[in-house]
Structure 1
């Protein structure tokens, strides 16, 4: 079994299940109710696609009926005694008056020309009903399947008995081929062959005796155009979506770059702020150190003033806490302490160890230490400190404070 045959079988089974359900009647009723709610003009617009031209042939002329909105109306007649080219032009003119690319054309014959038989078949035969009817053709009719055009419709399904009643309509090919050729000569491309339900111009019986391979292959240009426009619209929608996402990504990248730049600037600002705080702390330390310490020049001046002329220093060392240690020689070392006690710069003068005579210089060799007197804060510094304690404002730097 080919793939196409398998698909056709499955589709036939699905159609059978659908037909046996109540859905067709419900959808038909529902569509009718919705259509009745629409204005008449709208119903006409929606019904345009269901228009059909029905052609009837007699010995003298072709009659053409237009079926629309469930009603038939005579549309035109073409006499058969005029040349075939004129008949073609007249039919083309009538056809072009209807702006509907999906307009279907049916050739209708009197119902009496078709052989009608009613058959009862098993329900399982509905999957391949056309093949079953073709096989049964020579048993149910005087013809073989290749000698007739036929169609059928299921008129009843009995779910209990699991059978169905089929109405078969048959027309000999020999009777119809000549008429179809005549219609083809005047440009009538048929979608099917049907029977009138009653008199000509009444309505179609709802059959299609023409085989599928002989039906016109219509190309709905409007449908193709609409599909193409729909595809273009879909592509444009996708492209617009991609452009939107791309623009959002570009904006996000730009915002990310700005955030990174702001982070870098904030980090740089924090670094500069830390450096500034460190420099400020260093400056404050140096300022306090200078403020709290006696200047070296003042200490040297005081020592020069307090030490007698017969005294000289060999070594002088001052640590960061203001402790001073000196080593030297003097004509009378014992009088040095008395002189240094009167100093306003030096405090707590005392010898380290014992005073020893130097045989070479005939002087006393001594080692002593003392503490530098703490420098009093100036009045302006007191005011700045009080303002800082009260308002939290940093005091002004002293002019003597070293630059950063």
Structure 2
């Protein structure tokens, strides 16, 4: 009976595979390495990624410790030594690396691992481990309970059929790996991953099942999380401060615009008032220029009325109507006397002419209209000679 590994969430697995298949991780790693080169050595060690991988390889009866990427071994000790001696040799080689950053890798020789390339449909990309567990009996001479295995996706080739991708199944028997792991565990050496040696580097897989992988607490993770949260909070505060400043500037500008609009409205009102006042003043000036004076009217009436006539009352209302009340020896001739006046026009008697028994004269009440002078624009053109 086969034991299937637990299936990770499909969405998270797809995201992980898409991330690993993209060029972003390699770019970030290169970028981080370039940034670290410009830092002082003390800061460089402090901001480093933390995990430093070392490979442990079996060489006949000896264990050889390498730093990944370096061909020169760091330490070598006999597999038959006691646990204290083995741990002392390993700690002496790793003393320059912080304890929380040490990661130990058991490197297997290529002849100890069965490698098989398979072609799978694209639907199996999200759960390779489960698919290979079902295919283990058909692809290898082992069952899934007899081996430790790992699956990795290979680069596409032109010969791959449409709708399929290439993957590589790597298998090692448990009966060979378990004694090595048990011997290392008895010596107090904890293995973080089991991988395949590829020159001075590793292939990039982990044959250990998830249940046997040690859980290491990363002390920098909490600090990095706090720093990331602080950066987010500071970024939000900076954005909030920026928006607050912009809002204040906008409020000040709106207040200035409102003040200028109020001033502009006051200027328009004052200009309109000035125009109205100027128009009214001009109208009064024209009215005054067009209207004859009272002295001119009295002088004209004095010249035209005969000496036998005298006025008891002279009135002028707002409409320009002139009222003449008095006595004359021959009142009917007053209309002819006033007919050519340049100041009044339309003279006519109001009521009947009545004789006065006391004076022996005729009492009359005559009304006329005060003649308005023509406007400057409507005045007739002056003749060549003076009148």
Q: Give the counterpart of 1:178 among 157, 179, 182.
A: 182
Quote how far apart the aligned CAs of 1:119 are: 7.4
Match of 2:191 in 1: 190
Further displaced range: 117-126 or 278-287: 117-126
Contact 1:346 1:370 in 2 (8 A): no
Aligned to 1:67: 68
Higher helix share: 1
How far the C-alpha of 1:291 sits from its partner, in A, is 3.1
| 1:56–1:64 Cα contact (<8 Å) kept | yes
Are 1:287 and 2:285 matched, yes or no?
yes
C-alpha distance in structure 1 between counterparts of 2:72 and 2:332, whole Å: 153
Structure 2 residue runs without a partner (length 5+): 1-5, 39-43, 375-387
1:131 to 127, 130, 133: 133
Conserved? CA contact 2:129–2:151, under 8 Å: no
Q: CA deviation at 1:74?
A: 1.2
**Aligned pair 1:256/2:254, yes or no?**
yes
- The corresponding residue for 1:52 is 53
Q: Give the TM-score normalised by structure 1.
A: 0.58
Deviation of the 1:283 alpha carbon = 2.0
In structure 1, the residue matched to 2:379 is: none
**Distance in 2 (alpha carbons) for counterparts of 1:289 and 1:153:** 111
Q: 1:212 maps to which residue?
A: 210
Residues 191-231 of structure 1: CA deviation (Å, up to 9, x unaligned): 12356679xxx776766443222212345555665565455
Q: Check the 8 A contact 1:340/1:346 in 2, yes or no.
A: no
Q: CA deviation at 1:300?
A: 5.0
Map Cα deviations across residues 246-298 of structure 1 (whole Å, 9 max, x no partner): 43333233223322222222222222222222222222222232333333356
For 1:10 and 1:236, the matched residues in 2 are separated by: 30
Once residues 119 and 348 of structure 2 are traced to their aligned partners in structure 1, the CA distance between those partners, rounded to angstroms, is 140
The structural deviation recorded for 1:237 is 3.8
Q: Answer yes or no: is the 8 Å Cα contact 2:147–2:171 preserved in 1.
A: no
When residues 207 and 324 of structure 1 are mapped into structure 2, their CA distance, relative to the original with a 3 A threshold, is closer
Equivalent residues of 1:56, 1:108 under 8 A apart: yes
Are the structure 2 counterparts of residues 260 and 331 from structure 1 closer, same or farther at C-alpha, using a change threshold of 3 Å?
same
In the alignment, what sits opposite 2:382?
none
3-state SS in 2 of match to 1:74: coil
Query: 1:107 maps to what in 2?
Result: 106
The alignment yields a C-alpha RMSD, in angstroms, of 5.6
Q: Conserved in 2, the CA contact under 8 Å of 1:351 and 1:366?
A: no
The size of the alignment, in residue pairs, is 339
Alpha-carbon offset, residue 240 of structure 1 = 3.2
Query: Offset at 1:170?
Result: 0.8
Sort the Cα spacing of 1:195 and 1:318 in 2 relative to 1 into closer, same or farther, 3 A.
Answer: closer
Distance 1:262 1:236, change over 3 A: same
Per the alignment, do residues 92 and 364 of structure 1 end up closer, same or farther by CA in structure 2, a change over 3 Å counting? Answer: farther
Alignment of 1:5-404 (within 5 A): 5=7, 7-8=9-10, 11=13, 52-56=53-57, 63-68=64-69, 71-77=70-76, 84=84, 88=87, 91-92=90-91, 94-98=93-97, 103-108=102-107, 123=120, 128-132=130-134, 140=141, 150-151=148-149, 166=169, 168-172=171-175, 175-183=179-187, 185=188, 188-194=189-195, 208-220=206-218, 229-230=227-228, 232-296=230-294, 299=297, 311-314=310-313, 316-318=315-317, 320=319, 322-330=320-328, 333=331, 350-352=347-349, 355-359=353-357, 362-369=360-367
TM-score (norm 2): 0.60
CA contact (8 A) 2:106 2:191 kept: yes
